[in-house]
Structure 1
Amino acid sequence: MADLSEFQHPRFARMYERISAESEQRGTAERRDLALAGLSGRVIEVGAGNGMNFTHYPDTVTEVVAVEPEDRLRALAEQAAEKASVPVRVVAGHAGALPAEDRSFDAAVASLVLCSVTDVPAALAEIRRVLRPGGELRFFEHVRSANPLLGLLQDALTPVWSRAGGGCHLNRDTAESIRAAGFQIEPLHRFSYAPLRFVPPHAHILGRARIPT
């Protein structure tokens, strides 16, 4: 098993366990439905957290392999998997070295996780590696604002927030990173909403991407 000690954030995991429930009620659940709609076959979910996506997978999915490095969140994901309507197998691992064979999945899901991975290009390269030809990446992420002033504010806040928030970055241009990794995005939806009461509305993206054939 890979050494996952650098991915342990127990204080943040406890906080996330609390705030994720509120976030679901404030619009995140509906976005999960949109992000996962129409998926089928075998799916790998990268950074599954506490398993909030599991009840949103359509019944056309035959298996979800949910990869999560943080011990507390992974334990919660294992509990959530028992209530899922599709088969979910939770495994220990991280985005930079996915515990999966080449070309073994029909789709990959990155949901509110690319903000916190250490090396985004490496994570996207791993996703490409495990996808079968014609496979797709579904993504739902918060990103840097297109408003210059808000973007600068996110730049200023990110170093402090990243230390408190399990490595989360407020200011990543994730769509550009996905394109730079060789994916073709089709389509891309950009929107703002406030998933928590104490956080102002901020930019998110949702969409799907494929490797051009």
Structure 2
Amino acid sequence: MGLGDWYDAHIMPRVIGCACSTGQVLKRRAMVVPLARGDVFELGCGCGINQQFYDVDAVTSYAGIDPHEGMLETAREAATGNGWSVDMRQGVGEDIPFASRTFDTVVCTFTLCTVEDPKQVLSEMRRILKPGGTALFLEHGRAPDANVAKWQDRIEPVWKKLAGGCHLTRPIFSAFRGAGFEVNELGEGYMPKTPKWVMWNEWGAARKAEV
């Protein structure tokens, strides 16, 4: 195993886990995750950071995927402790291993920045939602301020190597609309006490139109 592979396997997941569970990040997760209802699917469920924020009584069943099998065990334990029917698998968002029209809610927090093909992932999220279902999201992406966006463009190539392929410049609201969702914008803004180039956030509820 080379140094890069060792870093990706052992260090990078811990770095991302710490970065995604700071106090300010948790405050914003707490504004989005409790809105989940019914049969829930979480993309990039990681080591279970979001488990503490679900409204346990509002969730009927819980499923999720993450590319890192080593991070799933903790998440499985936390989800099972909530008393739900749980199905968590290793997988990627470009090919979600669940049937179409299965879930009432899809939860996606700080995940679209790292996927290889965000358009395909959004298409898959829409596919697995029931008609009228909702994708709840909290993501970071391209800042609206030209000076900040300029620095994002400069830093991103190095940042991706250190942060598991994390992109700084991907659009958020417009990406969901482009994938055929009706988007209710719940909020946007820079994360307090965080460099602007890394944490422009947009969060909302993207509804799959009934067919």
For Structure 1 versus Structure 2, the TM-score category normalised by the shorter chain is 0.7 to 0.9
Q: 1:11 deviation in Å?
A: 2.3
Give the CA deviation at 1:38: 3.1
Q: Counterpart of 1:160?
A: 158
Q: Report the residue type matching 1:165 in the other structure.
A: A
What's the offset of the Cα at 1:117? 0.5
Q: Provide the rounded CA distance (Å) in 2 between the counterparts of 1:111 and 1:104.
A: 20
Partner of 1:80: 78
Unmatched segments (≥5 aa) in structure 1: none
- For residue 45 of structure 2, the aligned residue among 45, 48, 61 is 48
Equivalent residue runs for 1:65-144 within 5 Å: 65-84=63-82, 86-144=84-142
For residues 48 and 78 of structure 1, the distance between their equivalents in structure 2, rounded to whole angstroms, comes to 9
Which runs of no fewer than 5 residues in structure 2 stay unpaired?
A: none
Deviations 1:83-141 (A, max 9, x none): 44655432111101111011010110111000111000100110111000100110000
**C-alpha separation between the residues in 2 aligned to 1:207 and 1:147?**
20
After superposition, the Cα gap between the structure-2 partners of 1:104 and 1:82, relative to the gap in structure 1 and judged at 3 Å, is: closer
Q: Secondary structure at the match of 1:32?
A: helix
TM-score by length of 1: 0.86
Cα shift at 1:32: 1.5
Q: CA RMSD in A?
A: 2.0
| Offset of residue 172 of structure 1 | 0.8
- Partner residue in 1 for 2:206: 209
Partner of 1:17: 17
> What residue identity is the alignment partner of 1:148?
A
CA distance in 1, matches of 2:135, 2:53: 16
Which residue of 179, 195, 198 maps to 1:200? 195
> C-alpha separation between the residues in 2 aligned to 1:51 and 1:99?
19
Identity, in percent, stands at 30
Matched position secondary structure for 1:37: helix
